[in-house]
Amino acid sequence: MNRDIPLLETFLDALWLEQGASDHTLAAYRRDLEAWATHLETVGGTLLSPETAALPAWFEERRAAGYQLASNARLLSSLRRFYRWALAEGLIAGDPLSEVRLPRVRPALPDTLDEDEVERLLAAPDVTTDLGLRDRAMLEVLYGCGLRVSELVGLTTDAVNLRQGVVRVRGKGDKDRLVPLGEEAVHWLTRYLRTARRALMHDAARPPMFPGRGDACLTRQAFWHRIKAHARTAGIQRPLSPHTLRHAFATHLLNHGANLRVVQLLLGHSDLSTTQIYTHVAQARLEALHSVHHPRG
């Protein structure tokens, strides 16, 4: 076993205790730092005593092996986080990465859908069936609230207040936020709760809002499989990602004049810079419309 593993575990424990990092986030940090520790071991270094040139050389090896610039940038972010912690804990005298720089990575525009495509996708489930009604309610909530798929499938019945038209969402870092549901989402949730949910569950008193097998919450993978099937029904050809409707939610709000800070709160982003990517999406959409419809486009 690499001798730096106990140190990694201490760092990950601190990340979880101090910031409530999710299992997914912790797994990403573990993967990045274990890879770095393994590389250092091959060149005679350790996490707390890396050679100054070790990281640039390793990044060049990764680039030659086909890793994209964005992958190295994400890796560097993980390592910076670790060394900031090590410096604060007095484990090192200075940050070994302070002089390391990578070319600026231009953020990729997220996949999204036009409003007409969203309407077709929402209308795709067969609401005469219990599963179809469940899927329609899920799609309406996903798009109407801009949730992450993990947030959607993890919803419980006590998190939804149909009378007030809000849903309490537990996001990254176990942070809660209240998000308006909107009239359509309230309508389809009400209809789903009156009939389909009871039919789909063996014990309707259990908390999952959207059950899968055995009255447990529907998994992200199962729901994503359902979305792709409905997209085919709707005749949507463009590639979709698990975040497509969340991206559409944010982009369409901005297209209709919403304030960026409001969109940030609705999405549950801790940093406004994360939300700003959607201004680029909205701008790209406006430019496309201009080129198509303006006489001098």
Question: What are the catalytic residues?
Answer: 148, 172, 243, 246, 269, 278
Q: Which two tokens stand for residue 129?
A: 């069936």
Q: Note whether 192 and 133 are within 8 A (CB).
A: yes
Q: How far apart are CA 223 and CA 232, in angstroms?
A: 14
Packing angle of the helix pair 220-233, 115-122 (nearest 10 deg) = 110
Q: List Cβ neighbours of 103 (8 Å cut-off, separation of 6 or more).
A: 69
Q: Edge-to-edge strand order for the sheet containing 160-161? A: 160-161, 166-170, 176-180
Instruction: With beta carbons less than 8 A apart as the criterion, state whether 138 and 170 touch.
Output: no
The tokens of 244 are what?
């497509």
Token look-up 């390391």 returns 100
Q: Determine contact, residues 250/146, Cβ cutoff 8 Å.
A: yes
Query: At 99, which helix (H) or strand (E)?
Result: none
What does the block give as tokens for 263? 């969109």
228: tokens are 């792709």
Identify the DSSP state of 122: H
